[in-house]
Amino acid sequence: MKALILVGGFGTRLRPLTLSVPKPLVEFANKPMILHQIEALKAVGVTEVVLAINYQPEVMLNFLKEFEASLGIKITCSQETEPLGTAGPLALARDKLIDDSGEPFFVLNSDVISEYPFKEMIEFHKSHGGEASLMVTKVDEPSKYGVVVMEESTGQVERFVEKPKLFVGNKINAGFYLLNPSVLDRIQLRPTSIEKEVFPKIAAEKKLYAMVLPGFWMDVGQPRDYITGLRLYLDSLKKHSSPKLASGPHIVGNVIVDESAKIGEGCLIGPDVAIGSGCVIESGVRLSRCTVMRGVRIKKHACISGSIIGWHSTVGQWARVENMTILGEDVHVCDEIYSNGGVVLPHKEIKSSILKPEIVM
């Protein structure tokens, strides 16, 4: 089987982290986002992954070369010269996706974190005999999304309603599809939307089916959702009694700590924290609801909550960093500084407090 991952553009919503690496390579729970997906695809027998990308393909490919070997999966790029929307990239990668097997192929949105129930999706697709399957997930506020209206018992999709004003249902497109090769005959090589142009036509022919995603779902393409997604992901690890979760007197709730990180005396860490490789957390530090990326040093008695600390940054003694503060790569927060929602671009030194959410160039 093959899979296409829609990587797309610049990752502007996750700046300043994406100023240093393409968004799919930003770590989520100590692993590049895209690797969560590639590993899950490999586990259900996918042998080749195509990345649809229009930005920095060489950075992506160089990085993923080492994983090609260790995972034993072929990874290639299909590069757009102009943005092609969500369906155009399928037409562009047509020759890479089609072979003689006639097997269906996966299409994934690269920002989505979940338990990736691809095995169940393959079984569902085979059972209904239609042309295309998509995953849907239930949300509390469907008006922000495109809602999928479906026949409950069979999963047959009736129609799509984009950002509904009146309640038509609470199931939205989760960004995972399993498509027969014949779907490619419906897509022209031009900027086009799979949700607005391709799927409605398949639904009109009663050949599109939706399956409700079991477990959690989050699009982690922006900081607030990234931090929420980490909580859901760690909850899921807990539910499955994962050995990845840290334990000890200084750990509260669900936490993952890379084995190469060092943690000092008297710290309190958690809930919902990820600490990356080579980090040094000095004594008396308090961390909650945050991600601390590779190579970061947090000095004594600093307090960080609801924030993302980018690679190789330092946070000074007694500093307080909170309320969706995002530090880019190599940012140095001086001792006793307060950051309330500061978004700091890479390679900066912060010598005075950031009292209200703002971007620091």
pLDDT digits (tens, 9 = 90+) for 201-240: 998 899 999 999 988 998 888 888 899 999 999 999 999 9
Return the closest-CA partner of residue 48 out of 114, 112, 101, 111: 101
The label of the residue with tokens 């996750």 reads 14
CA distance 43 to 32: 17
Residues 100, 116: Cα–Cα separation, whole Å? 27
Burial of 330 (0-12, 13-18, 19+ CB in 10 A): middle
pLDDT confidence tier of residue 290, bands split at 50, 70 and 90: very high
Give the model confidence (pLDDT) of 74-126 as tens digits: 888 888 877 788 888 888 888 888 877 888 999 998 888 999 999 999 999 99
| Helix ranges (DSSP H) in 84-166 | 88-92, 94-97, 118-128
Largest CA distance in the chain: 64
Sheet with strand 338-340: strands edge to edge: 268-269, 286-288, 303-305, 320-322, 338-340
- Give the closest residue to 147 by CA, choosing from 89, 200, 225, 87: 200
Give dist(CA 297, CA 131) in Å, integer: 51
pLDDT of residue 12 exceeding 80, the answer is no
Asked if 282 and 299 count as a contact pair (C-beta separation under 8 A), the reply is yes
How far is 230 from 293, CA to CA, in rounded Å?
13
pLDDT, tens digit, for every residue of 195-208? 888 888 998 899 99
